[in-house]
């Protein structure tokens, strides 16, 4: 599963030479994202113990959390889900190159895919998303 979230989203596109380029939570203007987490992902954010069911926070609230906060979920899975979703939603803007929405058929389908993966093992997916975001937001060249 370690590479599936990026690989299934065409992390590198051999024909175009384009490489995945992500940004972290601090790169998004939180005030722009008042939509509810459940409206995007279809269910509530994860709790620190890995179960889902936290209050239905907005993406803005999640973007403003600090790593390790209880509402960030186990291994910051909620922050990771939101950041990956926003990277896909902003593909082609602000230096972001992440074709996940196209690969999955729609942004909504990608959000549901991310959540389904997290639901199977939120601790592992939280760690994977954090590592993926760190890796692909720090690449200077492809």
CB count, 10 Å around CB of 40?
Answer: 22
In a domain, 58, yes or no: yes
Facing residues of 12 across strands? Answer: 19
> Could you tell me if residue 28 is inside a domain?
yes
Q: Is residue 59 part of a domain?
A: yes
In a domain, 142, yes or no: no
Number of domains composing the chain: 1
Domain assignment of residue 61, yes or no = yes
**pLDDT at residue 140, rounded to an integer:** 58
Collapsing DSSP to helix, strand or coil, 66 comes out as coil
Domain limits at 41? Answer: 4-137
pLDDT of residue 16: 52
The pLDDT of residue 13: 45
Q: Can you tell me the distance from the alpha carbon of 14 to that of 23, in angstroms, rounded to the nearest whole number?
A: 22
Closest CA to 114 of 100, 133, 134: 100
The neighbour count for residue 12, using CB atoms within 10 Å, is 13
Can you give the pLDDT at residue 50? 87
Tokens representing residue 60 in the block:
């803005």
How would you write the pLDDT of the chain (142 residues) with one tens digit per residue?
A: 445 555 554 444 444 557 889 999 999 987 889 999 999 999 999 999 988 777 889 999 999 999 999 999 999 999 999 999 999 999 999 889 999 999 999 999 999 999 999 999 999 999 999 999 999 988 655 5
Task: Quickly tell me which residue has 């959540």 as its tokens.
Answer: 115
Global pTM reads: 0.88
């Amino acid at each position: 599963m370690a590479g599936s979230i990026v690989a299934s989203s065409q992390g590198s596109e051999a024909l175009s030479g384009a490489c995945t380029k992500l940004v972290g939570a601090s790169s998004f203007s939180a005030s722009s994202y008042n939509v509810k987490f459940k409206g995007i992902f279809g269910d509530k954010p994860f709790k620190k113990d890995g179960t889902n069911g936290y209050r239905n926070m907005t993406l803005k609230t999640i973007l403003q959390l600090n790593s390790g906060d209880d509402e960030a979920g186990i291994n910051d899975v909620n922050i990771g889900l939101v950041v990956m979703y926003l990277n896909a939603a902003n593909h082609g803007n602000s230096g972001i190159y992440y074709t996940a929405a196209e690969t999955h058929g729609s942004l909504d389908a990608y959000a549901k895919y991310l959540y389904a993966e997290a639901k199977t093992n939120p601790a592992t997916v939280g760690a994977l998303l954090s590592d993926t975001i760190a890796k692909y937001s720090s690449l200077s060249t492809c």
